[in-house]
Amino acid sequence: MKGLLAHRPPLNQLITLVAIALVSFFSVAMIGTIALQALTGISVDSLSDLSPAQLSKPGMLTFLRGMQFVQFIGLFVLPAWICSQLFSYEPNRFLGFQAPNLSQFWFWSILIMIILLPFTQLIGELNQRIVFPGGMKEWMQSQEKSAEQTVKALLSAQSLNDLLLNLFFVAVLAGVGEELLFRGLIQRILVRKYGRWTGIVIAAILFSAMHMQFYGFFPRFLLGVVLGILFAYSGSLWVAILAHFFYDAMLITAAYVNPDLLEAESVIPLLQLIAPALISLLLSVWVIRQMIQRSNEFPPQEPTYMTEDPENPF
């Protein structure tokens, strides 16, 4: 099976990826849901109402965390493994499971996530103020509520043990799983088809759209672009995974320290965000320029292995 579709056009590979991801997700979700219902005694119907009374039921948080793990396996890990085997003769390198071309990228990945926070916060506040037509607004708000419900339910638990579990089931699983799919596979394929920057941007759009949270689309898109840059210029998926995990971990820890962040519409007035956001933007651009310049001096290995079998010289 290894390299079976390595010579196929990028768009064919992308269609194959979507098909495999859908089949894998629904198959694993069906099996996982049945297993979790038997284990916890919680039914899927209970998820329609995640009120405090529902969350206090024994096994509810276990069920929610179990569903996060089911999604991690079915939507991210399994499709990534199958597609990397099909699309390349060296699957690990295809996905970017290698050290970065420069060790500084470990530091840059953390630094850029910290520096970027004020700017993403401003973009998020502006995103919330976009006015949509009535019917579209209601539909978007319903999708937003549905997408946020599980995460809010998990983050509402306030013990130290809950914090550690949330760091794993939300930050670690999302960091590994989403980077596997969107940077390791989708961005890799799109860059091959459209070039580096176009591929990064399209992958970031898809990354943000998948979350079905339209009032957070633009800050998540911005995050996707930065993660794409880290992956493209370091050549290592581990760098993007570290940055993604660290960003989510900051937000989870902030919600643990200040639970009001889960409910507040706007903690800081918009005008007070402008100056820090401009400084954040300038520093972020400077750091990204430094990363790109240094990477151009020591470029990561290009994935020529996608179309060549290293074990077969003929």
Indicate whether 27 belongs to any domain: yes
Per-residue pLDDT tens digits of the chain, which is 314 residues long: 688 898 899 999 999 999 999 999 999 999 999 999 999 988 888 777 666 666 677 788 889 999 999 999 999 999 999 999 999 999 999 999 999 999 999 999 999 999 999 999 999 989 988 887 777 777 777 767 766 777 777 887 778 898 999 999 999 999 999 999 999 999 999 999 999 999 999 999 999 999 888 888 999 999 999 999 999 999 999 999 999 999 999 999 998 988 877 765 655 778 889 999 999 999 999 999 999 999 988 888 766 544 455 555 43
Indicate whether 2 belongs to any domain: no
Q: Give the closest residue to 215 by CA, choosing from 135, 120, 140, 302.
A: 140
HSE toward the beta carbon, residue 94, CA cutoff 13 A:
25
Compute the distance between CA of residue 154 and CA of residue 174 in angstroms, rounded to an integer: 14
Round the CA-based radius of gyration of the chain to a whole number and report it. 20
Q: Give the closest residue to 83 by CA, choosing from 140, 155, 10, 151.
A: 10
Alpha helices, DSSP H, located in the chain: 10-40, 52-55, 60-71, 78-87, 91-95, 104-128, 134-155, 160-166, 173-179, 188-194, 196-210, 217-234, 237-257, 270-297
Instruction: Please state the separation of Cα 231 from the chain's center in Å.
Output: 13
What pTM was estimated for this model as a whole? Answer: 0.91
pLDDT score recorded for residue 47: 74
263, amino acid identity: E
236, amino acid identity: S
pLDDT score recorded for residue 265: 60
pLDDT score recorded for residue 242: 98
Indicate whether 3 belongs to any domain: no
Classify residue 302 as exposed, middle or buried by CB count within 10 Å of its CB (0-12, 13-18, 19+). exposed
Cβ neighbours of residue 229 closer than 8 Å, sequence gap 6 or more: 200, 288, 291, 292
pLDDT score recorded for residue 146: 65
Does residue 67 contact residue 153 with C-beta atoms inside 8 Å? no
Q: Give the closest residue to 75 by CA, choosing from 176, 165, 202.
A: 176
Compute the distance between CA of residue 30 and CA of residue 312 in angstroms, rounded to an integer: 40
Q: Which domain holds residue 53?
A: 10-306
Indicate whether 5 belongs to any domain: no
Indicate whether 134 belongs to any domain: yes
Indicate whether 53 belongs to any domain: yes
Compute the distance between CA of residue 244 and CA of residue 175 in angstroms, rounded to an integer: 5
Compute the distance between CA of residue 272 and CA of residue 29 in angstroms, rounded to an integer: 44
Compute the distance between CA of residue 10 and CA of residue 224 in angstroms, rounded to an integer: 21
Estimate the share of the chain in helix, then strand, then coil, as percent rounded to the nearest 5: 80, 0, 20
Indicate whether 215 belongs to any domain: yes
What's the domain count of the chain? 1
Compute the distance between CA of residue 301 and CA of residue 138 in angstroms, rounded to an integer: 47
The Cβ of residue 252 has, within 10 Å, a number of other Cβ atoms equal to 18
Indicate whether 254 belongs to any domain: yes
276, amino acid identity: P
pLDDT score recorded for residue 306: 47
